[in-house]
Amino acid sequence: MPKPFSPDEVAVALTALPGWQFEQGALAKEFKFGSFREAMAFMVRVGFEAEAADHHPEWTNVYNRVAIRLNTHSAGGKVTGKDVELAGKIERVAKGG
């Protein structure tokens, strides 16, 4: 089971994740795109990254917005390194990488 991050470890991790926040026990960010099609393409690319990492986000999509929350269920719903790693991959996808 992954080790839950302390509040200080979460704060340090957030410094490398622009726009991400620690909200209600999870890393969270909302992404906005030019269209629904762009939002869905982003979700598909993130889905492949999440599946490869065997770590799946909680997310919602409304038209051109995608809200993502990350925490590790096997660690009691706490933030772990798995969440930080996936958030970094999500950032790369969002930047076209």
For residue range 53-93, what is the model confidence (pLDDT) as tens digits? 999 999 999 999 999 999 998 898 999 999 999 999 999 99
Report, at the CATH architecture level, how domain 7-94 is classified.
Answer: 2-Layer Sandwich (3.30)
Give the helix ranges, DSSP H, for 1-97.
Answer: 7-14, 36-53, 81-94
Q: What is the pTM of this model?
A: 0.94
Mean of pLDDT values over 18-30: 97
pLDDT tier, 97 (very low <50, low <70, confident <90, very high otherwise): low
Mean pLDDT of 11-28: 96
SS3 69: strand
Structure tokens at 68: 């993502």
User: Smallest Cα–Cα separation from 78: which of 20, 9, 3, 19?
Assistant: 3
Q: Are the beta carbons of 86 and 2 closer than 8 angstroms? A: no
